[in-house]
Amino acid sequence: MNAVVRAVAVDLYDARVADTADRLPWLLVDEAHAFFEGVAGPALRRVLTRGRHPGVSLVTATQRPSALPGVAVSQADLVLAHRLTSRADRDALEAARPAYMGASFGERTPTDPGEVTLVDDATEAVHAVRVRERDTPHGGASPRASEQS
């Protein structure tokens, strides 16, 4: 997976620099901490630090912001933070907290499911956002192989 993410990131960046891509590409990476630690790391860092000018957008998602390199949070235009329980993860977000945020991430940490703190660097604004509850047939329960508990 790391090699695939690296190849895609390199190809998207190179295509935009060479102006051979018809559209502005978006690269979405879930469990991003696993890719920054592997062979995809240098390509993802290049997209983070130099991808904006040629028009390459990167969306990273992780439940472990402390496992991301500092550049991943500091270069982000938008940071969406759900409730975090690990001190290391809270500290990683706090280290990248912009001056205009005022209160710390700890003071703005969501407490209920579906709540999100959104930091928008483009407008220098911080918003409390509520994501609607997911409506699923299983009610969000974990899958089971049998009906026994």
Express each pLDDT in 98-125 by its tens digit: 878 888 777 888 888 889 989 898 898 8
Please state the φ and ψ torsions of residue 130, each to the nearest 5 degrees: -120, 125
Q: Give the model confidence (pLDDT) of 2-35 as tens digits.
A: 999 999 999 999 999 999 998 999 999 999 999 9
In whole angstroms, give the CA distance from residue 13 to residue 21. 9
What are the distances in angstroms from CA 27 to CA 10, 24, 56, 75?
A: 11, 10, 8, 15
pLDDT in tens, 37-54: 899 999 999 999 999 999
What residue spans define the domains of the chain?
A: 1-63, 77-134
**CA nearest neighbour of 36 among 68, 62, 76:** 68
pLDDT of residue 6: 97
Cα separation, 6 vs 35, whole angstroms: 8
3-state secondary structure of 110: coil
Question: Tokens 């945020």 map to which residue?
Answer: 101
pLDDT at 133: 77
Residue in the structure block whose two tokens are 């235009």: 77
What whole-number distance in Å separates Cα of residue 40 and Cα of residue 57?
Answer: 16
Answer yes or no: is pLDDT of 55 > 60.
Answer: yes
Dihedral angle, C-alpha 29, 127, 46, 5, nearest 10 °: 0
